[in-house]
Each structure stands twice: as structure tokens, then as C-alpha cells.
Amino acid sequence: MVDWKAVGVGSLINAVLTIVLTISVFPLFFLGPLIGGLVATYIGSGDKKDAPVEGGLTGVIGGLIIGILFMAGFGALSAIIGLIFAKVGMVAGTMTLIAGLFITMVSIFLGGVLGVIGGFIGAEIRENGRKKVDIEN
């Protein structure tokens, strides 16, 4: 069963880390979904078989958050352009919508795939950590 609190935490980590890494160090943006999926499955109480689902959900929800923020940011920019230049405003609004949908779909797909990989890694870390503790006691 999916632990939705862990998925929510992983999604927020995914979105924030991806945005920060995209702005500061672009080639490392893929670490956001990986770490979000890893954290969600590591802190979650789900089974190991639920790890890819939890990781994938963190990637998809994080991708939606990124897409919404992207469209909101560029929507405000196109509104300002529309106030200044009336005819350019419609073109800017349409371009914003198309670019926003494209960025949202790409971030959902990449976030989902990388989240599943992070979910596998987090489940392995959690399971191997438990085995070592069991052996020591």
C-alpha cells in the first residue's frame, strides 16, 4: 500500500530540488526526481514491491508542480507583455501555453522514470540497512 505522506514529502523535495538545480547547475537537474523517489521510499512504510509506484508518483506529482509553476511564471510575463503590446500579448499567451504544456509533459515523464529509479534505490537502501541491524542484534 502506498504511503501518501511519504509521497507528498518526496514530491515536494523533487519539485524544489529540481527547480533549484535547474536554475543553479542545469546538468544536475535529474537529481531532484532521483532524490525525491529515494526519500519517499526510504521514509515510507510501504512494502518493497510498492517502491517503484511510490517513486513514480513522486516524479509525476513533482512534474505537475514544476509545470504549474512554470506556466504561472510565464503567464504573468505574457500578461505584462500583453499590457504593453496588445497584439503581441495574444501570441505570447499562446506561446506560453504551448511551452508550458510541453515542459509539463516532459517533466512528468522524466520525473516519473527517474522517480521509479530513485524508488528502487531507496527500497534497497532501506532493506539492506534493516538486514545489517538485524544481524548486529
More reliable by pLDDT, 111 or 85: 111
Q: Tell me the per-residue pLDDT of 11-65, one tens digit each, with 9 for 90 and over.
A: 999 999 999 999 999 899 999 999 999 999 999 988 889 999 999 999 999 999 9
- pLDDT at 121 exceeding the cut of 90: yes
Give pLDDT, residue 129. 81
Give pLDDT, residue 1. 86
Give pLDDT, residue 102. 93
Give pLDDT, residue 87. 67
- The string over 61-91, giving b where at least 16 C-beta atoms fall within 10 Å of a residue's C-beta and e elsewhere, is bbbbbbbeebbeebeeebeebbeeeeeebee
Q: Tell me the per-residue pLDDT of 79-106, one tens digit each, with 9 for 90 and over.
A: 777 777 766 666 766 777 888 899 999 9
